[in-house]
Amino acid sequence: MSALLAATLPHRTLALFVLWLLLSESYNLLHMAVGLAAAFAVALLNTDRLTSAAYRIHWLRLAAYLPWLLWRIFLSGVHLSFLILHPRMPIDPIMIRHRTQLSNKNAVVLLGNSVTLTPGTLTVEANPDEVLVHAMDEYSAQDVKTLRLDRKIANLFKRTEARG
Residue 118 main-chain phi, psi, to 5 deg = -85, 120
The answer as to whether 164 is a domain residue is no
Asked if 150 contacts 111 with a C-beta cutoff of 8 angstroms, the reply is yes
Q: What value does the mean pLDDT take over residues 41-54? A: 68
Residues 75 and 38 in one domain: no
- State which residues form the domain around 113: 56-159
Reported as a single tens digit per residue, the pLDDT across 112-122 is: 999 999 999 99
What HEC string does 38-50 produce? HHHHHHHHHHHHH
Nearest in space to 144 (alpha carbons), one of 95, 92, 104, 103: 95
pLDDT above 50 for 161? no
My answer on whether 38 and 62 are in the same domain is no
* Global pTM value: 0.70
Q: How many independent structural domains does the chain possess?
A: 2
Chain segment 51-94, per-residue pLDDT in tens: 554 567 788 888 999 999 999 999 999 999 999 998 888 999 99
Q: Do 74 and 109 belong to one domain?
A: yes
Residue 3 has pLDDT above 80, yes or no: no
Residues 44, 71 share a domain:
no
Question: Does one domain contain both 153 and 75?
Answer: yes
Tell me the average pLDDT across 5-31. Answer: 87
Q: In the 8-state DSSP scheme, what is residue 163? A: P
109 inside domain:
yes
What pLDDT does residue 152 have?
93
Q: State the pLDDT at residue 4.
A: 63
